[in-house]
Amino acid sequence: MEARHDLPITNLDYPKPITSPPPPISKDIELKRAIEASSKSSLFNLTRDHVLYEDEWLMAVNKPKGVYCESVLSSAPKIIVDSSSNEFHLANRLDRDTSGVMLITKSHKVAAKLVKAFTEHKVRKSYIALSIGPSPNWSKITIKSGHGRSKHGAWRVYAALDVGRVLPGGSFVRDMETTICSEVVSVNGENPEPSESQSIIVVEGEPELSCVGDDVVVVRAFPRSGRTHQIRLHCQYLGIPIRGDVKYHGMYEWRGRTFEGHELHAESLSLEHPVTGDPLVIQSPLPCWAAGDYVTV
C-alpha cells in the first residue's frame, strides 16, 4: 500500500513534560487573583518611597506584590526627576505576584543595552522564596532542564535532552538553569545545620527527590536564564513549591490561612551600568515573610 502524503499528521513525537500540570482548582483561583490585581493596578501610583535608585539614564523601583508591571511603568513619568523623555521602557519583568527590583530605562538606547546584557546573562539576579516541603539535604543545587509550554498551554519543566525539540503550537523547548542555595535557608524559622552538599541536576526524567514534608523553607535562587516562571517551576521540580503558588502545586491553604499569591521576591540585581560601565548593585527591602514572620504575615 502506498503512503498517503496528503493526510494530516496527528501523532507527532512531542517531548513529554516532567512536572505536573496545574491542578484543576488553580484556574478559578488564578482568575480571582487576576481580577483583584487588575483592580489594584488601575489605582496604583508609584511614589518616591518605591524608588531604590535613579540617575539620568535609568530608575530602579521596588514593585509591590499583586501589581502588573505595565501599571508600574505607566505611572513612572509622574515621579521621575527628569520626565521630559517619553522613551520609558521596562528592562525586566516580574510576575504579577512577584515583588522586588524592576528597572525602568529612560531612553531607547539604554533599553537596548540592558536587553542585550540580560540576554547575554551579564546581569546577576537574586530572588528569595518561601516554600513548603521537606527540609533540603543540600547546601547548593544547580538545576539544568528544558522549559516550554505543554499541549495544554501551561509552562512545564522538560528534560535537558529535549532542548531544541518542537512543542505543540510550533514553539521549541529552551534551556533553563537555576542555582538554589540553602546555606542561608531558614527551616521553620531556625537555621539548619551547615551542609557541604553541592550538586548539579541535569533533568532527565521524573524527580527523585522527596516531596513529603511540611517545613517552612526559605531559599535564595539565582536564575542564569530568564524563562517564564523559571524559579517557580524549578522549586516545584525540587519538591519545595512556593507557598501560595497554586499554579505550580504550592500550598494555597496552610495552617488555617489562605494565601492570595505566591511568595517570591526579586531581591537584587547586579550589573555593569549601561552608560558609565560602573558596577551597580540594586537591592530591595525584604518582605515580612522573608524576614522571619513566616506564618502570620
Residues annotated as catalytic are: 95
Q: Using the structure block, give the residue that is written with the C-alpha cell 537584587.
A: 268
Paired with 144 in beta bridges are 177, 202
Phi, psi at 133, each rounded to 5°? 170, -160
Hey, what's the cell of 189?
A: 524559622
Hey, what's the cell of 27?
A: 484556574
| CB-count burial class (<10 Å; 0-12, 13-18, 19+) for 277 | exposed
DSSP state of 247: G
Q: What is the 3-state secondary structure (H, E, C) of 206-220?
A: CCCCCCCCCEEEEEE
- CB distance 262 to 232 below 8 Å: yes
Alpha-carbon distance of 57 to 17, in angstroms, equals 42
Alpha-carbon distance of 220 to 113, in angstroms, equals 27
Hey, what's the cell of 254?
A: 496552610
Q: Using the structure block, give the residue that is written with the C-alpha cell 522613551.
A: 87
Alpha-carbon distance of 156 to 100, in angstroms, equals 24
